[in-house]
Amino acid sequence: MVETTPESPDRVTERLIVLLRDPQPDTRRTAALSLGKISDPQSISALVSALSDPDEEVRQWSTWALGNLASSLTKEALVGLVQQVADPSDSVRQAVVLALSQTTISEEVIQVLEEAYTISNHATQLTIIQTLAQFEFPFAYALFIQALKSPDPLIRQTAIAGLGELGDPRGLLVMRTHLLQDSNVGVRSEAAFRLGKLGGHADIPALRQAKETDPTPNVHFWATWSLEQIEFET
């Protein structure tokens, strides 16, 4: 029996990069998935190119693979990944959120996200806000404030959550305002919860008002919980 010599990791990566351009979508998908598992930095350029593949799953797996290579991504690769927040596929956009959560996003990339937010539809705006909400970048504050003007309640709720993660005291007034005035119960509940995590004595009147006057049990529950947290700490 003749034994074959295993291919070197570099050679395997090279072969998979070639397969990313195969005519068959299934082959390209498998190649992207395999490159993500191997996580060889030499595949980054090819994976960024695959982000424009006509097949949705190829783009999704290429995005996932780049997330696995987060520590090796160049600025150009990061920008290419960020641009995928405008992908028409929800599964790809969600893969972008997960991939970006593994990276160290620079201020330049955040600026790209801010510019993209301004010109994007609601679905893309939601992905951008979901992405930023996973990081504690002070310069994301302005975009969260902008997002709170959105007619989409899920975008507003995610923006409140993002402000909560930032821990910026300027966000407390915004949270109190949305607790008492926002039309959506999810947004009001999020604001009540975040005030309990971050707020202080100045937030008690708004929380008491919400507890006594909000017509929904969920807001009542979180306002009550937050009051207990603040009163216990003070």
Q: Residue ranges of the domains in the chain?
A: 9-105, 136-234
Closest CA to 133 of 97, 103, 99: 97
Out of 84-88, 151-155, 221-225, least confident range: 84-88
Residue whose token pair is 């593949």:
53
Mean pLDDT, the chain, whole residue set: 90
For residues 31 and 16, the answer to whether their CB atoms sit within 8 Å is yes
Domain 9-105 shares a fold with domain 136-234:
yes
The predicted pLDDT at position 197 comes to: 94
Reported confidence tier of residue 200, pLDDT bands at 50, 70, 90: very high
In CATH terms, the fold of domain 136-234 is Leucine-rich Repeat Variant (1.25.10)
Q: Within 10 A of 76 (CB to CB), how many other CB atoms are there? A: 11
Give the chain's count of helices (H) and strands (E).
14, 0
pLDDT at 2: 46
The CATH topology of domain 9-105 is Leucine-rich Repeat Variant (1.25.10)
SS3 assignment, position 195: helix
Integer Cα distance of 77 and 85 in angstroms:
14
Which residue, among 72, 62, 119, 71, has the nearest Cα to 95 in the 3D structure?
62
The tokens for 142 are 């302005």
Q: Scanning the structure block, which residue is given the tokens 């195969």? A: 22
Average pLDDT over residues 153-179: 95
Work out the average pLDDT over 170-199. Answer: 96
Q: What is the DSSP-derived secondary structure letter of residue 184?
A: -
Q: Please choose, from the candidates 123, 104, 99, 124, the residue with its C-alpha nearest in 3D space to the C-alpha of residue 114.
A: 124
- Position 23 pLDDT exceeds 80: yes
Using pLDDT thresholds of 50, 70 and 90, give the confidence band for residue 3.
low
> Is the pTM value of this prediction over 0.85?
no
The 3-state DSSP class for residue 182 equals coil
Chain position carrying tokens 């930032």:
166
Question: CA 118, CA 214: separation in Å to the nearest integer?
Answer: 33
Closest CA to 174 of 143, 133, 209, 145: 145
